[in-house]
Amino acid sequence: MTTLWSFLLVLSGLIFFHELGHFTVARLFGIRVLKFSIGFGPRLWGFVRNGTDYCISAIPLGGFVKMLGELPNEEVPPEERHLSFSHRPVYQRALVVAAGPFANFLLAQIIFFFILLIYGNPILLPEIGSVRPDSPAARAGLQKGDVFVAVDGMEVKSWEDVSKYIKSSHKEKLHLRIKRGDKILDVYVTPEISTVKNIFGEEVKVPLIGVTASGKIKIEKVNPIRAFVMSFQRTWQVTKLTWEGFVKIIERVVPLSTLGGPIMIAQMAGQEAQQGLLNLFYFMAVLSVNLGILNLLPIPVLDGGHLFFFAIEAIKGSPLSQRQMQLAQQIGLLILGSLMLLVFYNDIARLLGLIPAVPKP
């Protein structure tokens, strides 16, 4: 039950916020919204207010906002055209469509903001947990328990700082300042170029010295202003990493078997919920970014496809013909249908142990 309720909480929250983006901008422009639905299929529950049907539908795998004049060839009475989506300038239609994915990025930042404000910022301390024998660090005399203070004169406060400075160094010899007990020591070490795999499974060459972190974490409290800045940075980092992941899938660097659908999302939501609300909401933020990027892909029937058509309309001064639009929609449905079949196959194959589980985000 934990898995089911966690899945419904995460997915319905993401869908609601996405559709709220479309809804809010549509209403700001005075476009009549006929229906706001969480889910597809038969209507289960809802209410009507100010001409809009707010409802929950049977299939919780998506949602939609239905606007007056949204459908092709929809007849709109002359007296209501000022309320019609299709009779609005192209920039207004584009903003309404873009507001959905934007809302997903905004939701991620809001979640990261409150996690940072309430819980704080976890910092992996720059303390050595182990030293590989016969490594540059071992030859330089580094020991377990040593704490990095500076790398080449640059102060370090976290293991991330240490790793970043060492991997970005192109010098033959690094000056490390460490703390050992009550003593401050200066150590010089020459990194070795090693071949390792990055998060996408690609082999890359990086300078390493042969140490691992102790795993000790300090929680740093942050004020609202810093939490806002850090939440923006974190959202950007997740966005960049997610986009790189999409590109790597297209390049076939990352196998298609890593893609997952509702079953995998439900499993991961359940696992995160068992670890606590903090983990569940962090997972929700990462998934929200994924949903935002997915919807911006220039595939017809997705928001990105509509934005692509609006860009063409803005450039050429007129929309695509009905025949061109129908053909594009059919291609988009084919792509989306194929993708859905693939992720459902992956989900089932993963349950049967035919393909490996996807690592946690």
Question: Catalytic one among 19, 70, 127, 272?
Answer: 19
Q: Measured between alpha carbons, how far is 38 from 236 in angstroms, rounded to an integer? A: 27
Q: Measured between alpha carbons, how far is 159 from 162 in angstroms, rounded to an integer? A: 5
Q: 327: how many CB neighbours lie within 10 A of its CB? A: 13
Q: Using H for helix, E for strand and C for coil, what is the string for 64-117? A: EEEECCCCCCCCCCHHHHHHCCCCCCHHHHHHHHHHHHHHHHHHHHHHHHHHHH
Question: Tokens 């460490």 identify what position?
Answer: 178
Phi, psi of 123 (to 5 degrees): -120, 125
Q: How far is residue 115 from each of residues 265, 285, 320, measured CA to CA in Å? A: 21, 10, 45
Q: 226: how many CB neighbours lie within 10 A of its CB? A: 14
CB neighbours of 283 closer than 8 A, spacing ≥ 6?
A: 10, 268, 269, 272, 361
127 is catalytic: no
Q: Which amino acid is at 103?
A: A
Query: What is the token pair recorded at 328?
Result: 């594009």
64 contacts 26 by C-beta, under 8 angstroms? no
Query: What is the token pair recorded at 288?
Result: 């929200």
Q: Vertex 238, ends 235 and 239: CA angle to 5°?
A: 80
DSSP-derived 3-state class of residue 345:
helix
Q: 227: how many CB neighbours lie within 10 A of its CB? A: 20
134 contacts 168 by C-beta, under 8 angstroms? no
Q: Which helix (H) or strand (E) holds 163?
A: helix 159-167
How many C-alpha atoms does 2 have within 13 Å on its Cβ side?
12
Active site residues: 19
